[in-house]
Amino acid sequence: MQSYSGVVNVTPFFDQLRSRSFSTYSTYADAYRTVQGTFSTFCSYPNPINGFMANSQLQNASYSCLPHILAERGWQTAFIQGSGRGSVGAFAQTLGFEESYGKYDYPFKAVHNEWGFMDDDIYRFSLNQIDKFSQTGKPFLITINTGTTHGSLLPDNIDYVFGRENIINERRSVMKYADDALKRFIPKLDAKLAQLDKPTIVILLSDHTAKTISSGFVKNSIPLLIYASDQSIPNENRSITSSQRDIAPTIIDWLGGYVPWFTGNSLFDDSYNGRSSFSYGTNFFWLTKDHGIEIDSATG
């Protein structure tokens, strides 16, 4: 991603969209699986060191997450993905998403890779759900968990534009195809949101990374951009580090609220200097824009 100092122009549409959206200098995922990223993003809470809360006794604890908060106030909440609902879809519902949709809910035949349906068809289904939710007159929170970059396969009629002679170029080819799908989706999404009587915040964020060619902090580095359908969010790249845990507080702040138990901060707060943290095994990492600390939690 060239807007994040990438050396190859793999995601030209995302980079162009980021240039006219709100973003931060760097953003880091809290962990390495979808359930972990989902938990951190919507509950604004860190995953446990050397583990994750899904399918553990921690899952039964009482968490009041963004979907819970909005659903209690009459919002429609839905989690959409291109694989089977499975543990990810079920876990999303424990976080407060009232509806969970997987590939068996799609009323049409979709293109798939080794993980599930690919992005064009996931976006198509999501646009249909936005139409349905819009007709109720109630506000909605929809999360779209895309699928193209979860795999390494492209449809038979699509070229690997960067080749696939090694894993780096194969991943670049898949990312370019995902970026093309995003380019087809965003104008359709914006057109639908422009018809609503209230503004909508749109956030593009990764739940976790894939394989990286280097270790260290980069293995948790993820893209982020935010914009609003009424252009109420400034086009700004804030010179701070941010975390998945900052997303829920940012949304609540944009809606005019505040949740004291969230551990992240609103990215719209000009006094926030930015920070992120995550663990890998027993190693714990703490980051700001210019500094990083690594601690072995087992030995100190």
CATH code for position 14: 3.40.720.10
Q: Give the residue among 274, 230, 299, 278 at the shortest CA–CA distance from 23.
A: 274
Instruction: Label residue 110 by pLDDT band (50, 70, 90).
Output: very high
More confident residue, 184 or 37: 184
pLDDT digits (tens, 9 = 90+) for 142-174: 999 999 998 899 999 999 999 999 999 999 999
Q: Give the residue among 239, 250, 245 at the shortest CA–CA distance from 289.
A: 239
Q: Which two tokens stand for residue 180?
A: 């093309």
Contact 31, 52 (CB under 8 A): yes
Query: Does the pLDDT of residue 236 top 80, yes or no?
Result: yes
**Cα dihedral 112, 117, 119, 123 in deg (nearest 10):** 140
Q: What is the DSSP letter of 292?
A: E
Q: How far apart are CA 58 and CA 91, in angstroms?
A: 12
**Max Cα–Cα distance, the chain, nearest Å:** 56
pLDDT digits (tens, 9 = 90+) for 17-42: 999 999 999 999 988 888 889 999 99
Which range marks the domain in which residue 77 is found? 2-296
Q: Give the residue among 184, 132, 238, 192 at the shortest CA–CA distance from 13.
A: 184
Rounded mean pLDDT of 81-98? Answer: 90
How much is the pTM? Answer: 0.93
3-state DSSP call for residue 126?
helix
Query: Does the pLDDT of residue 1 top 90, yes or no?
Result: no
Cα Rg of the chain, angstroms = 19
Query: Does the pLDDT of residue 125 top 90, yes or no?
Result: yes
Dihedral sign from CA coordinates of 227, 231, 237, 243 = negative
Q: How far apart are CA 199 and CA 250, in angstroms?
A: 15
Q: How far apart are CA 160 and CA 51, in angstroms?
A: 36
The number of domains in the chain is: 1
Rounded mean pLDDT of 3-12? Answer: 87
Query: Does the pLDDT of residue 251 top 70, yes or no?
Result: yes
Query: Does the pLDDT of residue 280 top 90, yes or no?
Result: no
Rounded mean pLDDT of 48-53? Answer: 74
pLDDT digits (tens, 9 = 90+) for 54-68: 656 666 777 899 999
276 contact partners, CB below 8 Å, separation of at least 6: 26, 27, 28, 241, 242, 243, 245, 286, 287
Rounded mean pLDDT of 170-184? Answer: 96
